[in-house]
Structure 1
Amino acid sequence: MLYISFLSGKKTTTLRESAYSGLEASCCCMLASAARLVRITALCASVSSVRGPLLGTRSGTDVTAHRSKTMDCLTAAMDSQVNTANCGSDLKSTEVTHAATALDGRVKDVAPFPDEPNQGTPTEAGLLPGETVVKEGKAAILFPSANEVFYNPVQEFNRDLTCAVITEFTREQLAQRGVRVLVPGEKERVVVSLSGESQGTEQQEEKEEEEEEEKQKREQGEQEVETAVVGGALPLTADSSTSERRRTQQAGPRELEDSQMTVSSGQRGLRVLEGLAASGLRSVRFALEIPGLLSVTANDFSARAAALIARNAQHNGVSHLLQASQRDASMLMYEARGRKERYDVIDLDPYGSPAPFLDAAVQAVSEGGLLCVTCTDMAVMAGNSGETCYSKYGSISIKAKYCHEMALRIILHSVDQRAGVYQRYIEPLLSVSADFYIRVFVRVHTGQAKVKNSASKQALLYNCVGCGSFHLQRMGKRISQGKHMKYSAATGPPIGPVCEHCGHRHQLGGPIWAEPLHNTEFVQKVLSAVSGNPSRFGTSRRIEGMLSMITEELEDVPLYYTLDNLSSTVHCNTPPLLQFRSALLHAGFRVSLSHACKNALKTDAPPGVLWDIMRSWEKTNPVKRERLSETSPAFRILSAEPTLQACFDVREDANPQSRRRHLMRFQENPQANWGPKARAKTGGGISSALEDRRKQFQNKRKTPPTEASQLKPFPCKKFRKGTCMRGEECCYSHKPQLGSNEGEKME
C-alpha cells in the first residue's frame, strides 16, 4: 500500500514495491481542492502490466525530482484546475477524470481500486490470456487470438466511410431538430472545388459567418442553440462568438468535457443499430467518433460475440451509449417495426449475403432513416450464378465488364422491391464498389404515390455476347399529365433478335435499378467534411479520391464500357484514354469515368458511335483482317464503314479533375492476401491435428510427385472404400487417418 502524508511541508512516504509513479501523481492531483494541509490515504492496486519503473527502485535523485513534479502539479491544480498536459505521461486518463471530478466537489469519496485483479477483471491494458488489441480510429478492440469472432482489417475503408456518411446524415437530421453537430478537429465547412479554384479568403469567410450569425440572432432572438458533440451536446447560445465556436469546434473530446459541462440532447439524438456486430468494432467507433447519437445497439447472434461486445464497450468507456444484444437480427428488427421510435440508422454488414435481413430492415428503419448494406457475395452478383442471384435478390446477374456496377444496381433493386411491399421507397445517397464487396447507403421513405414510380425505376438488361453492347428496357412507363401521373406498361424490346453490330445473340439480365446511384449533393458534403479533417480517418486519402470520382460520374447513365474490351473485340491496339474520351466529346456526347472500374467509360453515346470510333482508330492502326474469322464480332464490325469520322485531338476537358490532381482513386493492395477472410468458427478454430493434415495435403495437385515413394504419406481412397487389393504394394498409405471425416468436411 501507498501512504502519502503532507504535514507542514514534510513529506513522509512508505512504498510497497508494486506501487507505481502514475498512481502517486494521481493521488496528489486529488488534493488540488484543499486550501490547507490535508491527509489522504489511497488503496492502490498491484497492476501487473503498467509501463514505467517502480518507485522503490528509483534513486534518491529520481524520487526527489518526481516529488517535485508532483508538487508543481498540485500547486497548479490549487490555482485553477488540473492541466493534464503539465502532469506528464504518468497520469492515466481514468485517473485524471477522478481528479477533475474531485476538484469540482461532485465526488466526495473515490472507490478504491481492487487489491488484486481477478480472472474476470481485465488488466490495465484490458487483456485476458489469449487476447490481442486492435486499434482502429479511436477504438481499441479486444480480440481473442483464436478465430472465434470475425474481424477483417481490409474493411477499415468500409468502416471509415460509414462513419463519414452517418456523421453527415446526423448533421442533416439534427439540424432539423435545432441541434448543431461538431466533430473534433473539423474545420469550418467549405465546399471542395475539384477545379482547385480559391473559395475566398479567410477574412471573407469570417465576415460571411458573422453576417449569418447576426441573421440567426434576429430570427431566433436569444434562443439557446444546442451543439452535439461526441457523447452529448454542448450548450452554445446564439450570442456565442465566432472565435468561441471555432475553439470549441477544434477541441478534442477531452478538451470539450473539461471546458464546458456536457448536457444530454434528450430524445433528439439518433438511434443506431448494427445488426451483425461481431466484435463490436464498428459500433464502438460510432459511439466514439459520431456526435449526436442517443444510443447504439450492437447485436450478434453469437454468445461469444455478444460478451466481447460488452467488454469492448466497457474497455472503450462507451457503456452508457452502447448496448450489447444477443438476438436474431431479423427478429430484433421485426420487433422494432411496431414501435413509435424506430432505428434512425441500421447497418447490415453480414458475412456473405444480406438478403435474409432486408425485409426486416426496411420496416425497422424510421421515416427518412438511413440503411447501410454491405454485400460480399460478389461471385453470385457478378454473374457466376445467375440463378442463385435471382433467388436472393430477384434479379439475374450476367458476366460482363460492368458487373461491379450491375451488382450495385441489383442490391438497390432488391431493397426497393422489398420496401415497396410496405408502401415505402428508397433514395440512394451513396453506392460504392470497393475491393471484394459493395456498399450502399439509402434513405427509406414512406409514400404510396411515390411507390407507384418504382416500376419505371427498374429495367431489364439486354447484353450482346459477341461485342458486349448493351441496352436497357424500363419495366414501366410514366407520363406526366398536369398534376397527375399516368402509369402504363413499357413497350419493347429495344433491339432485334440479334445484335445489329456483330450478329450475335443477346443475354437477358435484371431487373436492375436504372436510376442514379448517388445523391451528388450529399456526396459533396461528405467529401467536404473528409477533406477538411483528413486526420480523422486512416483511409481519408482513399475516401477523398473515390468520392471525387463519384461526383464526376454521369448520374443518368447506367453501366459502362471498358476501353480494353472494345479493343479486344476488334483485335486492335488500345487507344489512349484521353484520345478516346476526346473523340466522344468532339462528337457531342458526354463521357466520364467510373469508380467501379479503372478503365471504364460511362457515356450517353449509343453503341454504334463507339464502334464508329473504333473503326476510325483501326484505320490508323490496321488489323490483319485475313486472320479474322468471318463469324467473329471483329470481322463484322470492321467490315462496315464508319458513319462518324472520329477526331482524336486531345481536349482539355477530357482529363477529369480527380486524375489531374493525382488523387488515390484505385488503391493497390497494401499487403499479401488482401481480401476476404475466413468465417469465424465456434470453439476457437480448428484442431492442431486437422491443421497438420491441411498442411500435408496443401498444393498436392499443383506439384504432382514424380516418384511412387512420395505418395506414401497420402491415404488410399480405395482402401477406405474397401476395394484396394494391392495391400502393402500400394503406393498410398493404408493407415487409418484420425479425424478423417472432420478433415473432409473442412476441406
Structure 2
Amino acid sequence: MSNQEPENVSEPEPQKISEGLAEVQTTGKVFYNPVQEFNRDLSISVISTYTRQLLKDQLCTQPGVKCEAGISILEALSATGLRSIRYAKEIPGINKIIANDISARAVQDINSNIKLNNVEDLIEASQNDATMLMYQHKKDSFDVIDLDPYGCPSIFLDSAVQSIKNGGLLLVTATDMAILAGNTPETCYVKYGAVSLRMKCCHEMALRILLQCIESHANRYGRYIEPLLSVSADFYVRVFVKVFHGAQKCKHTISKLSHVYHCTGCDSFALQPLGVTKPHEKNDKLVKFCLPTGPPVSSKCEHCGGSYHIGGPIWSAPIHHPTFVKEVLTSASPGLGTYKRIQGVLSVISEELVDVPLYYTLERLAGTIKVETPSMMAVRSAILNAGFRVSYTHANKTSIKTDAPARVVWDIMRCWEKLHPASKKRIEGNKVASTVLQQAPQREYLFDIHPEANPESKQKGLVRFQANPMPFWGPGSRSQAMVGQDKMTRSVKNQGKRKRPADDSDCNDRVENKLCN
C-alpha cells in the first residue's frame, strides 16, 4: 500500500482546543489526546510544587510572567504545544520553555499557538530530533525535562539524564502497557532491560520496571534518581523523579533493585534483592555492600505446589516521596479540570505503604480457592488484627498491599473459607485450590472490623479510582488528532485488514507464546 496521500485531498479545517488557560489550534494531523488532561493537570501541579521548593524566597509568584531567576523546561515531544503553553500560563517561576517536535507541521502549529496565547517571551519552538536536542544541551542543562512519547520512552532516556541539572525534575510517560504488563516479556527486556510478568499487580510492576530503566541509564553517567511520584492511570504510567549527580551514591542502586519470583499457581510472589547494605564495622558513617543469599523460595510454591516464573529486575525501593506527595495534594489548584481526580488519586497514594513493593488483589485471592469473595473491610481488618500493616494502592481498586508474609495472607483466606466453605464440586479437580486448603492455618485470624480498616480517602468519598473518561478510550494513534474522530467507526472500517501469518514459522511462534502464557 502506498504511503502517499491522494492529490485531491483537501487540507483539514483547523480545530480549536481549549484546556486550562490555553487555547490552541491543530490541523488534525498533529497528535492530541483529550484523555490525558489528567496527565497534564497533574504535571502542572508537580512542577509548580517543585519550582516553589527550588526557588524558595525568589519573587517569581506570577504565572505567565518571565522570571529571570526561574527554571528552564524542555518539552521534548510537543505536538500541538498545548502542554508547554499551559506550563507557561499556569506555572509560576518560569524563565524559558523549549517546545520541541521533529515534525515541521507540528512546529508550525506550535509557533501559531504561541502567538495565539501571547507567550512568545516564555516559549521557544524547536524543530529537532529530541535526543539530539538534549545531547546539545549537556552543558546548559534544563531544570525540568518532560518526556511524553507515544509508546516506549527508553530511546530518550540516555540523552535526558545527561541534559538535566543536578537535582532536576524528569517526567516520563510510557504507554506500551501490554509490554510492561507481561504480554511479551522478551520485548520488555529489549526495551526496558527487565522481564515483565503477567501478575495481578502488573500496573505497579510497570511503574517499577520503568523506574529501574531510568536508574540504569542514569547510573552510566554517575547519576541516580529519587522518585517523587509514580502514577498508573488509564492506559499509561507516569513517573516524576529527581536526577542527582554522584558516582558514590550510585553504588546504592544494587540495594534498590530486586528480581521477582511469581508463583504461576496461586499468584504469590517474593522478592530477591540484587544487593544489600550493612553498617560498616569500623566507620558508622559508611555502609558495606554485600551480595544476598537466596533464592527466597524453594523450587515449588509452599502454598500451592506451583512453579515460579522469575522477572525483573524491578525498582523495589519506594516509588513515592510522601512529603512531596502531600505538598502537591495541598497546593493543587481547585481550578484544574481534573482536580477531583488529582485529589482522590494523591490521597490514596499518600496512604500507600511506601516500603512494600507489589500487592495482591481480593478477587484473585478468593478465586484461587474458589470461595465467596470477602469484603475488603473484612480482609483488611484481619490483617490489622494480626498486627500487620495494610493499604490500598492507587493502581487497583481491589488491591491489598501489606507487609504480612504470603503465609499469613493465605492463612487468613483459609480461615475465611472455614466460615464460608467452598463448594466441594468446585474444589475437586482443582489442584491449586485443594493444595492451598489442605493446609491448616497456623492460627485463627479474626475478621472483626478494625477501626483503621476504612481509609480516610474512602471515608471522605473522594474519586479514588476513575472510570473510563470517554467511550472507546485509549492511547489513540501516533501523529493523529483524536478530536472529533469516531474511534468506533475507524475500528469497524479496519476489521479484517490484519494480515495472516506469512508462513508456518510465524504461526508456530504465536502458538508457542500462547502456551507459555
Same fold (TM over 0.5): yes
Q: 1:571 to 1:328 in 2, by over 3 A?
A: same
What's the counterpart of residue 520 of structure 1? 322
What SS does the corresponding residue of 1:453 show, helix, strand or coil? Answer: helix
In 1: Cα distance, 2:148 partner to 2:490 partner: 33
Instruction: Quote the RMSD (CA, aligned, Å).
Output: 2.2
Q: Is 1:426 the equivalent of 2:225? A: yes
Bigger CA radius of gyration: 1
How is 1:107-256 mapped onto 2 (pairs within 5 angstroms)? 130-144=13-27, 146=28, 148-175=29-56, 178-179=57-58, 226-232=59-65
What SS does the corresponding residue of 2:92 show, helix, strand or coil? Answer: coil
How is 1:315-326 mapped onto 2 (pairs within 5 angstroms)? 315-326=116-127
Do 1:386 and 1:398's aligned partners in 2 also have CA atoms closer than 8 Å? yes
Query: Any stretches of 5+ residues in structure 2 without a counterpart?
Result: 1-10, 501-517
In 2: Cα distance, 1:417 partner to 1:159 partner: 26
What SS does the corresponding residue of 1:634 show, helix, strand or coil? Answer: helix
Do 2:35 and 2:469's aligned partners in 1 also have CA atoms closer than 8 Å? no
What SS does the corresponding residue of 1:272 show, helix, strand or coil? Answer: strand
Which of the residues 504, 508, 516 maps onto 2:306? 504
Do 1:625 and 1:635's aligned partners in 2 also have CA atoms closer than 8 Å? no
Q: 1:336 to 1:538 in 2, by over 3 A?
A: same
How is 1:52-91 mapped onto 2 (pairs within 5 angstroms)? none
Q: Which one scores higher on RCO, CA 8 angstroms, separation ≥ 6?
A: 2
The residue type equivalent to 2:474 in the other structure is G
What's the counterpart of residue 335 of structure 1? 136
Which of the residues 275, 281, 294 maps onto 2:82? 281
The residue type equivalent to 2:127 in the other structure is Q
What SS does the corresponding residue of 1:609 show, helix, strand or coil? Answer: helix
Query: Any stretches of 5+ residues in structure 1 without a counterpart?
Result: 1-127, 180-225, 233-263, 702-716, 718-747
In 2: Cα distance, 1:626 partner to 1:562 partner: 24
Query: How far 1:347 moved relative to its partner?
Result: 0.1
The residue type equivalent to 1:500 in the other structure is E
Q: 1:172 to 1:635 in 2, by over 3 A?
A: same
Q: Is 1:303 the equivalent of 2:184? A: no
How is 1:198-597 mapped onto 2 (pairs within 5 angstroms)? 226-232=59-65, 265-266=67-68, 268-337=69-138, 339=139, 341-481=140-280, 482-530=284-332, 533-535=333-335, 537-597=336-396
Query: How far 1:486 moved relative to its partner?
Result: 1.0
Query: How far 1:693 moved relative to its partner?
Result: 11
Q: Deviations over 1:202-256 (max 9, x none)?
A: xxxxxxxxxxxxxxxxxxxxxxxx3431133xxxxxxxxxxxxxxxxxxxxxxxx
Q: 1:297 to 1:571 in 2, by over 3 A?
A: same
Bigger mean CA deviation after superposition, 661-670 or 438-447:
661-670
In 2: Cα distance, 1:441 partner to 1:692 partner: 36
The residue type equivalent to 2:314 in the other structure is I
Q: Deviations over 1:112-151 (max 9, x none)?
A: xxxxxxxxxxxxxxxx97111100000001011x3x1000
Q: 1:670 to 1:391 in 2, by over 3 A?
A: closer
How is 1:692-731 mapped onto 2 (pairs within 5 angstroms)? 698=495
Q: Is 1:618 the equivalent of 2:420? A: no
Q: 1:631 to 1:227 in 2, by over 3 A?
A: closer
In 2: Cα distance, 1:160 partner to 1:601 partner: 28
The alignment-based identity, stated in percent, is: 50
In 2: Cα distance, 1:155 partner to 1:323 partner: 23
What SS does the corresponding residue of 2:239 show, helix, strand or coil? Answer: strand
Query: How far 1:674 moved relative to its partner?
Result: 2.0
Q: Deviations over 1:525-565 (max 9, x none)?
A: 000012xx312x00000000000000000010000000100
The residue type equivalent to 2:319 in the other structure is L
Q: Deviations over 1:382-438 (max 9, x none)?
A: 000101000111000010100000000000000001100111000000000000000
Q: Which runs of 4+ in 1 moved over 2 A?
A: 624-631, 691-701
Q: 1:560 to 1:129 in 2, by over 3 A?
A: closer
Query: How far 1:628 moved relative to its partner?
Result: 2.6
Do 2:60 and 2:92's aligned partners in 1 also have CA atoms closer than 8 Å? no
Do 1:503 and 1:633's aligned partners in 2 also have CA atoms closer than 8 Å? yes
What's the counterpart of residue 427 of structure 2? 628
Do 1:228 and 1:291's aligned partners in 2 also have CA atoms closer than 8 Å? yes
Do 1:277 and 1:283's aligned partners in 2 also have CA atoms closer than 8 Å? yes
What SS does the corresponding residue of 1:649 show, helix, strand or coil? Answer: coil
Query: How far 1:692 moved relative to its partner?
Result: 11
Query: How far 1:629 moved relative to its partner?
Result: 4.1
The residue type equivalent to 1:132 in the other structure is Q
Q: Deviations over 1:187-206 (max 9, x none)?
A: xxxxxxxxxxxxxxxxxxxx
Q: Work out the number of aligned pairs and report it.
A: 483
Query: How far 1:631 moved relative to its partner?
Result: 6.0
In 1: Cα distance, 2:467 partner to 2:425 partner: 40
Query: How far 1:165 moved relative to its partner?
Result: 0.2
Bigger mean CA deviation after superposition, 622-631 or 449-458:
622-631
Query: How far 1:630 moved relative to its partner?
Result: 5.6
Do 1:630 and 1:636's aligned partners in 2 also have CA atoms closer than 8 Å? no
Do 1:609 and 1:644's aligned partners in 2 also have CA atoms closer than 8 Å? no
Do 2:370 and 2:426's aligned partners in 1 also have CA atoms closer than 8 Å? no
What's the counterpart of residue 7 of structure 2? none
The residue type equivalent to 2:22 in the other structure is A
Query: How far 1:163 moved relative to its partner?
Result: 0.3
Q: Deviations over 1:78-101 (max 9, x none)?
A: xxxxxxxxxxxxxxxxxxxxxxxx
Do 2:370 and 2:423's aligned partners in 1 also have CA atoms closer than 8 Å? no
Which of the residues 661, 664, 667 maps onto 2:463? 664
How is 1:642-657 mapped onto 2 (pairs within 5 angstroms)? 642-657=441-456
Query: Under a length normalisation based on structure 1, what TM-score does the superposition of the two structures give?
Result: 0.63
Query: How far 1:566 moved relative to its partner?
Result: 0.2
Query: How far 1:700 moved relative to its partner?
Result: 9.7
What's the counterpart of residue 240 of structure 1? none
In 2: Cα distance, 1:594 partner to 1:457 partner: 20
What SS does the corresponding residue of 1:452 show, helix, strand or coil? Answer: helix
Do 2:35 and 2:470's aligned partners in 1 also have CA atoms closer than 8 Å? no
What SS does the corresponding residue of 2:61 show, helix, strand or coil? Answer: strand
In 1: Cα distance, 2:410 partner to 2:277 partner: 32
Query: Under a length normalisation based on structure 2, what TM-score does the superposition of the two structures give?
Result: 0.90
Query: How far 1:320 moved relative to its partner?
Result: 1.1
Do 1:461 and 1:511's aligned partners in 2 also have CA atoms closer than 8 Å? yes
In 2: Cα distance, 1:692 partner to 1:592 partner: 42
In 2: Cα distance, 1:617 partner to 1:380 partner: 36
What's the counterpart of residue 5 of structure 2? none
What's the counterpart of residue 192 of structure 1? none
Do 1:299 and 1:306's aligned partners in 2 also have CA atoms closer than 8 Å? yes
What SS does the corresponding residue of 1:642 show, helix, strand or coil? Answer: coil
In 2: Cα distance, 1:478 partner to 1:491 partner: 13
